[in-house]
Amino acid sequence: MNEELSFIVGFIGASSILAPFIFVTLHLLRQFLFIPVAIICISGGILFGPAAGTIYSILGLTLSSLLFYLVIRKFPKTMERLLKLKNKLFGRRNLNVGQITVLRLIPFVHYHLLSLCLMEKKQGLKNFAYYSFLTNIPLAFFYTVFGSYISEFSPTMIVILLFSLTVLLYLMREKYTVITWKEFFQTANDQK
């Protein structure tokens, strides 16, 4: 991980004026280069500082999500495979926006699988773009600002952090009550 981070920081740092454009483009190319989101966001914090790095990461991640939205519709077989993977991991239930936001903070959950969950939840490009932007803010902020400290966490601290995110994910689930047909249409005689 340190080699990838050093390479990214050195490459972008060498081109000072174009550095923000190269950084945002790197977010778009990240999935093809198999570079995790966290590494790109951490390098943004190192290169540009916490504020500008977070803004550039939010822009890059949102553009990456929009690119995914436009491209995945052109490849229906790939979309079917992602849907099967989503159903295998999360079941038939749809995740809400809060759960997607929390899951994006966990580095080993696939970023575009969560974008697919968001596509199912929020129909239309405008809705998807808005909620994609919102769900990318905590991700970009967390890894840009705290990224350099995360590598120094002990295994115990990482387990505690992941457990906390799992509890938060559970608390943010959609709560609903299932009423059977008979219960809903009880007659007056049945109630006495």
22-58 pLDDT, tens per residue? 889 999 998 888 888 888 888 888 888 889 999 999 9
Residue 147 and residue 124: Cα distance in Å, rounded?
Answer: 33
Which one has a higher pLDDT value, 177 or 132?
132
Q: What is the pLDDT of residue 151?
A: 65
Contacts of 73 (CB under 8 A, 6+ apart): 79
Q: Which residue has the tokens 């099967």?
A: 84
**Token couple for 180:** 């059977």
Q: Chain-centre distance of CA 57, in angstroms?
A: 12
The answer to whether the beta carbons of residues 43 and 27 sit under 8 Å apart is no
Does residue 191 have a pLDDT over 60? no
Which one has a higher pLDDT value, 1 or 94?
94
78-119 pLDDT, tens per residue? 888 888 888 888 777 778 888 888 889 888 888 888 898 898
The answer to whether the beta carbons of residues 122 and 85 sit under 8 Å apart is no
140-170 pLDDT, tens per residue? 998 888 776 776 778 888 788 888 888 887 7
Averaged pLDDT, 105-134: 88
Q: What is the pLDDT of residue 14?
A: 61
The answer to whether the beta carbons of residues 38 and 151 sit under 8 Å apart is no
Q: What is the pLDDT of residue 138?
A: 94
Contacts of 125 (CB under 8 A, 6+ apart): 66, 69
Does residue 1 have a pLDDT over 70? no
Q: What is the pLDDT of residue 128?
A: 92
Give CA angle at 184 (182, 188), nearest 5°: 85
Half-sphere exposure of 187 (CA within 13 A, CB side): 2
The amino acid at residue 128 is F
Domain boundaries, the chain: 2-174
